[in-house]
């Protein structure tokens, strides 16, 4: 898996296309939460659930179904006051869905582990992309080792730089759209 930092930066940079002035810090905190929560499945190790099990690491919490369901309680808990089934609400669901799914997709780009159970619970087959440039991150104390440094270098090149570019493109597009909107002759 990529580091938790990289999961967060990808989700924040991608969600910057959807953030509006009315969104608050809550928006980005929830985007970060969605991008990181799939790895809560590592708790399965404590209960003796093997990695390869659908409840194990990179199992159900890395599935498309989990990514689609997780935004629902988040919206009900954090946007209940604003609830109106409208395009903004659907857009928030979509952003939280993509933020959660980005975790599994990044994991499928790594060079280690057993793959990602994208279609769980309908299939327990695990997948990797054919192109897997991201070094798998060591877990726990091993993260603070030479292997951890190599992972961060790999992620800087394959994740952080592209994420910064995506964020920059989002910023430029919003600036252009703002100028067009406010300077359009009536």
- Does the pLDDT at position 19 exceed 80? no
- Does the pLDDT at position 182 exceed 70? no
- Does the pLDDT at position 89 exceed 80? yes
Domain edges within the chain: 4-182
pLDDT tier at 184, thresholds 50, 70, 90: low
Q: What is the pLDDT of residues 111-132, one digit of tens each?
A: 888 999 999 999 999 999 999 9
The model's pTM is: 0.85
Range in 46-50, 86-90, 158-162 with the lowest mean pLDDT: 86-90
Structure tokens at 44: 């399965």
Cα gap 28→7, rounded to integer Å: 13
Tell me the mean pLDDT in the region 92-103.
Answer: 95
Structure tokens at 43: 């708790």
At 181 the three-state DSSP class reads helix
At 82 the three-state DSSP class reads coil
Q: What is the pLDDT of residues 58-76, one digit of tens each?
A: 999 999 999 999 999 999 9
Cα gap 162→179, rounded to integer Å: 26
Token pair 């975790």: residue: 103
Q: Report DSSP state, residue 127.
A: B
Tell me the mean pLDDT in the region 141-161.
Answer: 82
- Does the pLDDT at position 169 exceed 80? yes
Cα gap 55→75, rounded to integer Å: 25
Q: Which residue has the higher pLDDT, 62 or 146?
A: 62
SS in 3 state form for 83-125? CCCCHHHHHHHHHHHHHHHHHHHHHCCECCCCCECCCCCCCCC
Give yes or no for a contact between 32 and 12, defined as CB atoms under 8 angstroms apart.
yes
Q: What is the pLDDT of residues 36-47, one digit of tens each?
A: 999 999 899 899
């Amino acid at each position: 898996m990529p580091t938790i930092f990289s999961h967060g930066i990808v989700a924040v940079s991608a969600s910057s296309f959807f953030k509006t002035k009315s969104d608050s810090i809550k928006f980005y905190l929830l985007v970060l939460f969605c991008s990181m929560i799939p790895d809560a499945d590592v708790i399965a190790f404590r209960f003796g659930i093997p990695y390869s099990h659908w409840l194990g690491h990179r199992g159900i919490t890395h599935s498309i179904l989990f990514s689609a369901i997780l935004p629902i309680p988040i919206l009900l808990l954090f946007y209940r006051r604003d609830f109106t089934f409208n395009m903004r609400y659907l857009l928030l669901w979509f952003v939280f869905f993509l933020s959660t799914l980005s975790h599994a997709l990044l994991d499928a780009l790594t060079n280690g582990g057993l793959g990602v159970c994208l279609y769980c619970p309908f299939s327990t087959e695990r997948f990797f992309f054919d192109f897997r440039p991201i070094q798998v991150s060591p877990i726990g104390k091993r993260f603070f080792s030479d292997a951890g440094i190599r992972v961060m270098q790999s992620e800087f090149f394959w994740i952080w730089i592209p994420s910064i570019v995506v964020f920059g493109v989002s910023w430029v597009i919003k600036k252009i759209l703002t100028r067009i909107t406010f300077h359009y002759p009536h």
